[in-house]
Amino acid sequence: MIKIYHNPRCTKSREGLQILEKSGQDFEIVKYLEDIPSEKELRKILNCLDIRPEQLIRKNETVWKENYKGKLLSDDELIEIMLEHPKLIERPIVIKNNKAIIGRPPENIKSIL
């Protein structure tokens, strides 16, 4: 099953969702700002993406700039920050089996389908 971590207010996320809809494949939508992933789930996402937590953070968000920018933070601390402020999680994220992709640009999603 394909899963998309989606923010309906984000243009790139909406474009990614359209790509999935056009693919004709079944998928599940996770509105991660409402249904915040657990720590275990976030770690699994990072593992599927094969990236470090810092690479999943949206560093242009105000909450990041005002509270965390320039600080030396561990991977565990970064995960906690994303769980506390899910808006910092890059989007959209599409997972299929044990592989994941960040849909920036949204066309990247086609590579996982």
Split into its structural domains, the chain has a count of: 1
Spatial contact of 46 and 75, defined as CB atoms under 8 Å apart: no
> What average pLDDT does range 53-80 have in this prediction?
97
Domain that holds residue 32: 2-112
Which residue is associated with the tokens 């810092």? 54
Residues designated as active site: 10
Paired strand residues for 100: 95
Q: Tell me the pLDDT band of 45, cut-offs 50, 70 and 90.
A: very high
Residues 68-94: tens digit of each pLDDT: 999 999 999 999 999 999 999 999 999
Q: What is the CATH number of the domain that holds 98?
A: 3.40.30.10
Structure tokens at 89: 């999680």
